[in-house]
Structure 1
Amino acid sequence: MTITPFEALACPIDGSVLQLKGRSWQCDAGHSFDIARQGYVHLLPVQNKRSKDPGDNKEMVAARKRFLAAGFYEPIAEAVFQAVFHETHCEAAMACMDAGCGEGYYMRYLAEKMPDAARLAMLGLDISKWAILSAAKQDKTPAWVVGSNANLPVLPETLDCILCLFGFPVYREFARVLRPGGEIVQVDAGPDHLIELRNIIYPELKEPRQPPSDAPEGFTAVDTSAVRFSLTLPDKQSVSDLLAMTPHLYRAGAEGLARVAELESLTVTVEATVKRFKKN
């Protein structure tokens, strides 16, 4: 197997080709983006930020790292691996981006499990600089980029696969950067995902928002599968870390958060839907 960093990066200001020159990525117009000493590059212009420090903060990233390193979501990682390396990709050369990669757990899982005959160029992108910093510290092989799904710093039609795992898909951008026949592997929470945690947090549960059943414009639905299992979190730390990985940390009221903080352990249902969409 061969793993390399993805290099078909685009200038986030004018969309032109970025070329690696020394320790920076530069375009012909003179825009330059330095590579941090940890190995990542920041390609999110200030004017494209919605806040001073967007995405997960340092504490949330640390919680996610602890939780995923413990293997709690390995069945989801395995389902993603199976969706990426299906029958036509087992011996292929692929360029793959994780759009919203967090601290890089799923990319590292792909790299560890990929078939011997496969060749993989990897790009991990997240809007959180703390997430990308953590990812770059753990694995120097992929290209790690601070950037936004709304304006991907990627040249057109240069990717074969995009992962969007519990994230925010921007299908027009995904269509722009995928080659014809390229695929999205998308993971969304199912209706019962973490329902036990939600029952503790909220006085009344809302009906879960259902993702669209149709394929996004420009794509064809290829496959859908479900991952469902019971997960026991054995201590306060793992319960706290799971909460920090979810939007419930901000949506919950003080009373709900206090109830979670009192838990010594918790068993939850994990339910996720894995979908594959192919670009037309």
Structure 2
Amino acid sequence: MMLSKKAVCIQNMQVNQAIFICPICTQSITIEENGKVICPSNHSFDVAKQGYINFMTKPVQSMYSRELFEARHDIISSGLYNPLQERLAALAVGTHFLDTGCGEGSHLARIMMQKPEAIGVGIDIAKEGILAAAKFHVGPIWCVGDLAKSPYHEGSFDTIFNILSPANYDEFKRLLKPGGKVIKVVPQEGYLKELRQQAFADSEKENYTNNQTVERFQESFDTVKIERLTYTMPLSADVVPKLLQMTPMGWHIANKDEIVITEITVDLNILIGCVK
């Protein structure tokens, strides 16, 4: 008999119970058969029927909607980020992966397809993102949570991904196993340039840099490698509205119907950090 999404989540959390702590008091937790997650101080959380766990200690209003996450899922499913996901899987080490700011989970899910022996955990503060992750991808452990009140034991992960998302370097280093890697992906100057050129022609938003982000990453880790990944992919007309919906660039465009793009450039820096 096929297990429900909730049962799969409970099973995966029980097998990996040593990873988790209570985000309120930081004690170890117990995952019961019914999906109740409880610590010795009786703080409790529940695995939802949709197949995820909400570790938030108070509700947070996210600026990201269900429609945005579903558009992002469709874009990633189109293959636009396949070369990136293949490279990230090749760079990953060990058996325990954490995707921070995982959104609707498509990057982690596709990385896990290339690393079936590993355990994947995704966390995002946006509940709508994790709901979409649980809807589309069974297998990884999806968590609504805040890295400022992390639900994970120190030294739990071999590889931590941070893909086009804000970072918490102190927490990354706490969670990293000895010999592990933090892999952060940031846009380079040519990222989605075809969209940027049409949306922000002749304005300061047409060009941008992530030099400060790269410098901060370099300051945060003992050894850092930087790879640049650049490629251009054809884009079908039906995908363009979804691209506009998923990226903040598209939110500020009044004349969306006038945007015509037949190909799109992905230009990214992959930052790889290690702690001695």
| TM-score range normalised by the length of the shorter chain | 0.7 to 0.9
| Separation in 2, partners of 1:144, 1:155 | 16
Deviation at 1:74, TM superposition (A): 0.7
Deviation at 1:151, TM superposition (A): 2.7
Q: Is 1:262 matched up with 2:258?
A: yes
* 1:38 alignment partner in structure 2: 50
* 1:168 alignment partner in structure 2: 166
Amino acid at match of 1:157: G
Deviation at 1:220, TM superposition (A): 2.3
Kept after mapping to 2: 8 A contact 1:198/1:205: no
| Separation in 1, partners of 2:274, 2:43 | 34
Listed as ranges, the matches of 1:1-280 within 5 Å are 6-7=16-17, 8-22=19-33, 23-46=35-58, 49=60, 51=61, 54=62, 56-84=64-92, 89=93, 92=94, 94-114=95-115, 119-203=117-201, 204-206=203-205, 207-210=208-211, 211-213=213-215, 215-217=217-219, 219-235=221-237, 237-250=238-251, 252=252, 256-258=253-255, 260-280=256-276
| Separation in 2, partners of 1:257, 1:75 | 32
Aligned-partner SS, 1:257 = coil
| Separation in 2, partners of 1:111, 1:62 | 20
Deviation at 1:146, TM superposition (A): 0.4
Note the alpha carbon deviations across 1:12-58, whole angstroms, 9 max, x for none.
Answer: 212221210131111111111011001101011216x3x3xx15210
Paired residues, what number?
Answer: 258
Higher fraction of strand: 1
| Separation in 2, partners of 1:217, 1:190 | 19
Kept after mapping to 2: 8 A contact 1:103/1:131: yes
| Separation in 2, partners of 1:248, 1:193 | 11
Higher fraction of helix: 2
Identity across matched positions, percent: 27
Note the alpha carbon deviations across 1:92-138, whole angstroms, 9 max, x for none.
Answer: 5x2110001122212222222127xxx31221111121211121123
TM (normalized to structure 1)? 0.84
Aligned-partner SS, 1:261 = helix
The structure, 1 or 2, with the larger RCO (C-alpha pairs under 8 Å, 6+ apart) is: 1
| Separation in 2, partners of 1:98, 1:240 | 26
Kept after mapping to 2: 8 A contact 1:123/1:143: yes
Kept after mapping to 2: 8 A contact 1:95/1:120: yes
Amino acid at match of 1:13: I
| Separation in 1, partners of 2:45, 2:173 | 25
Deviation at 1:268, TM superposition (A): 2.3
Please, what is the CA RMSD of the aligned residues? 2.1
| Separation in 2, partners of 1:16, 1:217 | 31
Kept after mapping to 2: 8 A contact 1:124/1:144: yes
Kept after mapping to 2: 8 A contact 1:149/1:168: no
Kept after mapping to 2: 8 A contact 1:126/1:148: yes
Note the alpha carbon deviations across 1:223-254, whole angstroms, 9 max, x for none.
Answer: 2211111122211x31121122222134x2xx
TM (normalized to structure 2)? 0.86
Q: Which runs of 5+ in 1 are unaligned?
A: none
